[in-house]
Amino acid sequence: MRAVFATVAIAALVSGCMPRQSIGPVALDALLSFEDPALCNLSPETARFLQAMVAIDPDAVVDPDRHLRVGQIAAPAPLIRVFDKVEMTRHDGWTSFAVRTSGTMLGLPLYAIHQTYPEGGDPGEFSFEFAAPVAAVFSTLRNNGFPVEIDNDVSLGEPDGYERIVSLQESPDAPQRSLLTCGYR
**pLDDT for res 120:** 75
Is it the case that residue 37 has pLDDT exceeding 80? yes
Selection from 84, 56, 80, 91 nearest residue 70 by Cα: 56
Contact yes or no for 54/130 (Cβ under 8 A): no
Contact yes or no for 26/147 (Cβ under 8 A): no
Is it the case that residue 129 has pLDDT exceeding 90? yes
| Backbone phi, psi, residue 50, to 5° | -65, -40
User: Would you give the DSSP letter of residue 4?
Assistant: H
Q: Look at the chain and report how many structural domains it folds into.
A: 1
Structural domain harbouring 166: 2-17+25-184
**pLDDT for res 23:** 53
E runs forming strands in 5-152 = 34-36, 41-42, 54-56, 68-70, 87-91, 94-100, 104-105, 108-118, 125-130
**Cβ atoms < 10 Å from Cβ of 3:** 21
pTM over 0.85: no
How distant, in Å, are the alpha carbons of 80, 107, 117, 139 from that of 31? 11, 13, 22, 22
Is it the case that residue 140 has pLDDT exceeding 50? yes
For residues 168 and 162, give the distance between their C-alpha atoms in angstroms, rounded to a whole number. Answer: 19
